Amino acid sequence: MLTIAVDAMGGDHAPKSEVEGAVRAARTLGVKVLLVGQQDVVRRELAEHDGAHSLPIEIVHAKEVITMKDSVDAFRTKRDSSMRVAARLVREGVAAGFVSAGNTGAVMATAKLVQGLVKGVERPALAGVLPTVEGSPVVVIDVGANVNCSPGMLAQFAVMGEIYSRIILRRPKPRVGILSIGEEDHKGNELTRAAMPLLRSLNLNFIGNVEGRDIYTGQVDVIVCDGFVGNVALKVSEGLVEMVKHLLHESLEATITRKIGYVLSKTAFSDFKKRVDYSEYGGAPLLGVRGVCIICHGRSNANAMKNAIRVAAEFSQGRINQQIEDELRLSTGDKIAIQAH
Amino acid sequence: MLTIAVDAMGGDHAPKSEVEGAVRAARTLGVKVLLVGQQDVVRRELAEHDGAHSLPIEIVHAKEVITMKDSVDAFRTKRDSSMRVAARLVREGVAAGFVSAGNTGAVMATAKLVQGLVKGVERPALAGVLPTVEGSPVVVIDVGANVNCSPGMLAQFAVMGEIYSRIILRRPKPRVGILSIGEEDHKGNELTRAAMPLLRSLNLNFIGNVEGRDIYTGQVDVIVCDGFVGNVALKVSEGLVEMVKHLLHESLEATITRKIGYVLSKTAFSDFKKRVDYSEYGGAPLLGVRGVCIICHGRSNANAMKNAIRVAAEFSQGRINQQIEDELRLSTGDKIAIQAH
C-alpha cells in the first residue's frame, strides 16, 4: 500500500486538520498515512475519530515542532522536528512522499536538504495551482522558492510545470506561457527577455508572453515566472479574494431585502466558494526534489490536507520525477544547462 | 477657469465615453474642457448632448489617432495625434493637464517627451489607485512605466506617491511600504533589499516590507515597487475580479431559486461593484511629468472620464508638482540622487 507521511504539527490548526485529513484519506483513497509529530498530542487527536484504529494510519514520534515564528534556519537546529522526520521517512523509502502545512520556507529547505534533488534539476520550484474561469486549473511556477532566477531556471520550471499539468491535472497538451507585461516577445524585463529564446527552443506547447490577467482566463495551463513575481501574484490574489468576500458580505447585510436575497442565494455562494477554494487543489508541490513534497497553506482545513495526500499519492504513482529527469536529460537538458551558467 | 484637455480619440469607446465624461465634468466640476480629436467626429458626438453648446467645452482639431494596435513609437511618427496635441496644449500652458484613455505606452512616452520632467525627478512613474477593505484607496507605484528600476528610483516613487496620497486622496500621514515577499527587512529580491535602507532614511511614515495580500487590507496607503511587479499585481487583480464576477453570475443563474435570490440581492451587487469599480478613482496619474497627465483604462466609461478630469483639476490645484520638486530637493533629493547613480 502506498504510504504518505504527514507533518501533523505544521499548520495553524495542527494537529486537528492534519489528523482529520489523514483519517479521510485513509478511509477513501486506499493509502497508508504516517502521522508524524508529538506522539501524545497526535494520539489524543486521533482518538477523537471513531473507528480510526482500524484504518491504515500509524503515528511516528517527532519531539520537536517548527512554528510559523521560527526562522527558516530552524530546519537545521531542530533536527527532530516533525517536518524533518517526515522528510527523512521519504529519503529512507518508508514513505513515498510527505505533506506539510508548516512554515513554507522551512519545509522547502528541509525537503531540499533531506531528500535531495532530481538528477538534472538546478533548483526546486514551488508550483501554485489556481482556479480559472474555464474550470481547468492553471499551474504558476515558481511561487516563492527562488527569489533570484536565471533564464535556465525558468526553462527548467517550464519543463517541470508542463509535466505536472499533463500528469496530475490531466491537461492533454498544456499551453506554457511566461508571465510578463505585454504580449510581444520583446516586452518584459531582462529575465523574461533572456528566457524567451530558450523557452521557444524547448519541445513544449509554448505560447510566449502572458499577462497577469491571463492567470484566471483558462487560456494558458502553465505560467512560468521567478519566485518573487509569482509570490506577489499569489498573495495579491489571496488578498483580493478576502476583500471581495468581505465587501459582498457587507453589502448583502446592509438591508433586510438583501438579507432575504442573501438567504435565497446562499447555495450559489457556497457553489462559488467551492470553485475558488484552494483546498480543492491540495496544496503546492515542490517540484524537483526526490520523492514527493506537497506544501499546504498554513490555514489548511481537513479537506485541503486530504487532497494534498491524494496529490502526493498521484505524484508518486505518476512517476513525475522520472519524467522530469528524462525530459531534462533527453530533449532539453543540455540546452538548458549550457544557457543557465 | 481651470482648463483640462481630453484626448477624445483614445479609449475603446472613443469618442463616446470621452465626450460624455467631458459634458458631465463641464456641467458639475466648474472646469473648462478641451476635447482634442478629429473635429467632425467629436462635433457630431457632442451634438448628441442637449445643451452642450452652452457648456465650457471647446473642440481642438487633431487629425491623427493612435490606436491600441499602434506600437509605442507611434507617438513619434504621428505628430498630430490627439494625445500629442493634448500634451502640447499642456506644455504651452493652454491646459493645466490632460487626460487620455489611449494606448498607455504611447501616452506615457508622449507626456514625457512633450511635457518634460519635474525638476529632480529621474523617471516618471504610473500610480495605480486601488480600493481596500477599509474604504481608503491605496496607491501602488509604479504599475508599468519603468520595467527596470534602481533603488533610487524606488525612493523617488515613494516620495511622489506619498504626496499624491496626502493631497489627492487626503490621507493624513500616509503609511508607505515596499512590495516584497516577507515582512522582515532582509526578505525580498536584490532591488527591494538595496532600496530598504534608502527608504528608511527618508522623511516618510515608512513601514517596511508589505506583501501582495496587504494591497487590499487598507493597512498601507502607498506601496512602492518596480513597474514590472506592479503591472503584474494590477493585471492579476483585474483578471481575478473578472473571474469572480463571471463565476458568481454563473452560480446565481444555475437555479430558479437562485434567480430569485439574484433579483433580490442585486442592489447589494451594484453596491459592491461600485466599491471595487476603478472608474470611481479616475485613472492613474503619471507622476513626475510637468503639468498633469492622467491615464485611464482603455475600457473607461463616461464616469471614469469625468472622474479623471476631476483628478486632473485637483492635481493642478493641489500644486502636486511643486511639492514633489520641493520634497526631492529639500529633504531627500541629495540622498536619493547620490544612491541612484
State the CATH number of the domain containing residue A61: 3.40.718.10
Q: Which chain B residues have a beta carbon less than 8 Å from that of A231?
A: 181, 212
Q: DSSP 3-state assignment of B265?
A: helix
- Contact yes or no for B261 and A257 at CB 8 A: no
- State how far residue B132 is from chain A, nearest Cα, in angstroms: 7
Distance CA B148, CA B156 (A): 14
For B314, the grid coordinates are: 485637483
Cβ–Cβ under 8 Å, residues A20 and A33: no
Q: Are residues B13 and B103 in the same domain?
A: yes
Q: Cell numbers 506561457 correspond to what residue? A: A177
Those residues with Cβ within 8 angstroms of residue A130's Cβ, 6 or more apart along the chain or in another chain: A137, A138, A140, A215, A216, A234, A237, A278, A281
Query: B272 contacts in A (CB within 8 Å)?
Result: 247-248, 251
**A13-17, A181-185, B182-186, B242-246, range with the lowest pLDDT:** B242-246
> What is the predicted pLDDT for the residue at A125?
97
CA of A258: which chain B residue's CA is closest? Answer: B265
Which three three-digit cell numbers place residue B199? 527608504
- Span A188-211, average pLDDT: 95
Q: Which of B190, B215, B239 is opposite residue A217, by nearest beta carbon? A: B239
- For residue B106, being part of any structural domain is answered with yes
Domain boundary pick from B278, B309, B328: B278
Same domain, B235 and B151: yes
Domain boundary among B230, B251, B278: B278
Please check whether residue B240 lies inside any domain of the structure. yes
- CB-based contact, A68 to chain B, within 8 Å: no
* Degrees, nearest 5: CA angle A294-A108-A123: 100
- A147 and A274 housed in the same domain: yes
Cβ B228–A229 below 8 Å, yes or no? Answer: yes
In a domain, A337, yes or no: no
Whether residues A267 and A165 fall in one domain: yes
* Of A94 and B335, the one with more pLDDT: A94
Chain A residue numbers touching B213 (CB-CB < 8 A): 235-236, 238-239, 242
The verdict on A129 and A274 lying in the same domain is yes
Domain contains A142: yes
pLDDT of residue A168 exceeding 60, the answer is yes
pLDDT value of residue A306: 96
Q: Is residue A117 part of a domain?
A: yes
Q: For residue A264, give the nearest of B215, B232, B257 by CB distance.
A: B257
Cis previous bond, A334, omega within 30: no
Pair B205, B165: CB distance under 8 Å: no
Same-domain status, A100 and A155: no
For residue B178, give the chain A residue with the closest CA. Answer: A232
Q: Which three cell numbers stand for residue A56?
A: 491504515
Range of the domain at A266: 125-278
Give me the number of domains chain A comprises. 2
Instruction: With CB atoms and an 8 Å threshold, state whether A241 touches B244.
Output: yes
Q: What pTM did the predictor assign?
A: 0.90
Residue B335 lies in a domain: no
Final residue in a domain of this structure, among A225, A252, A278? A278
Q: Is B51 left (phi over 0), alpha (psi -120 to 50) or beta?
A: left
**A236 and A188, same domain (yes or no):** yes
* Rounded-to-integer distance, Cα A176 and Cα A161, Å: 9
Residue A317 has what pLDDT? 95
Do A205 and A271 belong to one domain? Answer: yes
Say if B18 falls within a structural domain: yes
| pLDDT at residue A337 is higher than 60 | no
Q: According to the model, what pLDDT value does residue B255 have?
A: 61
pLDDT in tens, A38-61: 999 999 999 999 989 999 999 999
Give the range among A280-284, A329-333, B141-145 with minimum mean pLDDT.
Answer: A329-333
Range A288-300 average pLDDT = 94
Q: Return all residues near B338 (Cβ < 8 A) that are at least 6 apart.
A: none
What is the mean pLDDT of each successive set of 10 residues along chain B, which is 341 residues long?
96 94 96 97 96 94 89 84 97 97 92 96 94 90 94 96 95 97 88 95 95 94 97 91 77 64 62 62 90 93 94 95 92 53 43
- Does the beta carbon of B68 lie under 8 angstroms from any beta carbon of chain A? no
Q: Which residue shows C-alpha cell 473507528?
A: A51
pLDDT in tens, A129-158: 998 988 889 999 999 999 999 999 999 999
Q: What is the CB neighbour count within 10 angstroms for residue A18?
A: 33
CA distance A2 to A219: 35
Number of CB atoms found within 10 A of residue B245's CB: 16
Helix, coil or strand: residue B24: helix
Same domain, B72 and B186: no
Q: How many angstroms separate the CA atoms of A250 and A259, rounded?
A: 11
- Binary contact (A215, B237; C-beta < 8 A): no
C-beta atoms of A272 and B212 within 8 A: no
* Same-domain pairing of B259 and B152: yes
Tell which wins on pLDDT, A76 or B212: B212
| Residue B119 C-alpha, separation from nearest chain A C-alpha, in angstroms | 27
Sign of torsion over alpha carbons A169, A171, A177, A181: negative
B273 touches chain A (CB under 8 A): no
Domain identity same for A57 and A187:
no
Q: Is the Cβ pair A212, B238 closer than 8 Å?
A: yes
pLDDT at B127: 96
**Residue A249: Cβ within 10 Å count:** 14
The pLDDT value recorded for residue B135 is 82
Residue ranges of A 125-144 with Cβ closer than 8 A to chain B: 131-133, 144
Specify the pLDDT at position A340.
47
Give contacts of A251 with chain B, Cβ < 8 Å.
268-269, 271-272, 275
CA distances in angstroms from B10 to B17, B103, B303, listed in the order given: 10, 7, 15
Residues of chain B with C-beta less than 8 angstroms from the C-beta of A195: none
- The reply to whether B95 and B190 lie within a common domain is no
Q: Do B211 and A265 touch (CB under 8 A)?
A: no
| ipTM reported for the complex, 2 dp | 0.88
Q: How many CB atoms lie within 10 A of CB A148?
A: 11
Out of B248, B262, B267, name the one closest to residue A272 (CB). B248
On chain B, the residues whose CB falls within 8 A of the CB of A255 are 267-268
Asked if the structure places residue A333 within a domain, the reply is: no
Q: What are phi and psi of A297, to 5 degrees?
A: -60, 145
